[in-house]
Structure 1
Amino acid sequence: MEFAKNTAYGLHNRFHGMKVISDLEIAQTLHLPNECEELQLLMMKYECAMTEMITKLEVLSSEMSLKFQRNPFESIRCRLKSPQSIYDKLCSHGYEVSYQSIRD
């Protein structure tokens, strides 16, 4: 089973598979120096939710393989947008670059 993640930003913590985005990277990319901690927390929540869903799908796939001798999933992929990608999307849609608009 393939498990791909976008690792184009931040540092990769090998022990937990979590991404660590520095305050400096968020401040420079999103131009939000006062909201770095909130954005890190938001991105961590999304990362945790993706990890939980991947785990559930892997368990389901294993059960199906065992019970029915077939694998319903060819591959499972997920990604988390980089700060630059978030900034670009907000600008292209004409939204204000703020924590609130990122969250919404």
Structure 2
Amino acid sequence: MEHTSIELKNVMHWKTEMVRFMMAYKFAVEEVSTKISILQQEFQHIHDYNPIEHVKSRVKSPESIFKKVQKKKLPLNLPLIQENIRDIAGIRINCSFVTDIYRVADMLTEQKDITLIEKKDYIQNPKPNGYKSLHLIVQIPIFMSDRVENVYAEIQIRTIAMDFWASLEHKIYYKYNKSIPKALRDDLRDAAVSANELDERMERIHKEVNQLKEDDHLNGNEQKPVIFPPEFLSLLADNGEKS
């Protein structure tokens, strides 16, 4: 009976620790997502251009974590799992242009409570299949009720074209059970080249537009701000008071 009681306590302890383990990653995703949201809103309201197009986030399921534990041949030890599997919390940021990728990466990693652990630049050094993206492994503190957890998170930053290619490549990869025929692999690499050419072309157009805006500013041809007459402002104030 005593032996059963000890086993039950061990199971309950493992369950509690597993819940805390998963919650820490959930909070890490929320923390990073909040930081990104702040940057988005700041650019939206203060600047005339927002480099962040779209954001996705996820926490790996316990099943996915267990599969990776088996693949890496790790023991079922939560601290070891936390140290060796650093993409349990994942955030993906889509940017308009390649230069925006590095701009957003710098803005995030320069924040005091984000520690950059590892950087993999698959934009400058694409994978053999044509995959491009900037991967950052960061660590952020999560303040729990009785401890501070320093949690790893993976941030992937890519353009819309890169994301479109990667999404379709991923679907094809699993449709063929990770064994894609050579003809399809060649087509995918060609498509990756086309996606890169599109990014480069759009980047050039973006720079040309910025140059035109800068020239207009220097020549005094920029659009003048709207100046409302005092009567209109007075009318707005009156309506605000009545409502």
Measured against the shorter chain, the TM-score band is: 0.5 to 0.7
Q: Distance in 2 between matches of 1:89 and 1:60?
A: 33
- What per-residue deviation string (whole Å, max 9, x for no partner) do you get for residues 16-61 of structure 1? xxxxxxxxxxxxxxxx945111111011111112111111111111
Q: How does 1:22-101 map to 2 (within 5 A)?
A: 33=11, 34-101=13-80
* Alignment RMSD (CA, Å): 1.8
SS in 2 for 1:35: helix
SS in 2 for 1:68: coil
Gaps of 5+ in 2: 1-9, 84-243
Kindly tell me the number of residue pairs found equivalent between the two proteins: 73
Alpha-carbon distance, 1:100 to partner: 3.1
Q: Which amino acid aligns with 1:44?
A: M
SS in 1 for 2:24: helix
Q: Distance in 2 between matches of 1:75 and 1:55?
A: 13
Q: Distance in 2 between matches of 1:102 and 1:77?
A: 24
* Same amino acid, percent of matched pairs: 29
Q: Distance in 2 between matches of 1:39 and 1:103?
A: 11
Matched-pair contact (CA < 8 Å) for 1:35–1:99: no
Tell me if 1:103 matches 2:90.
Answer: no
Matched-pair contact (CA < 8 Å) for 2:74–2:81: no
Matched-pair contact (CA < 8 Å) for 1:91–1:97: no
Q: Distance in 2 between matches of 1:102 and 1:40?
A: 14
Q: Distance in 2 between matches of 1:67 and 1:99?
A: 43
Structure with bigger RCO (C-alpha 8 Å, 6+ apart): 1
Matched-pair contact (CA < 8 Å) for 2:21–2:78: no
Alpha-carbon distance, 1:103 to partner: 2.4
* Structure showing greater Rg: 2
Q: Which has the higher strand share?
A: 2
Q: Distance in 2 between matches of 1:42 and 1:86?
A: 12
Alpha-carbon distance, 1:97 to partner: 2.2
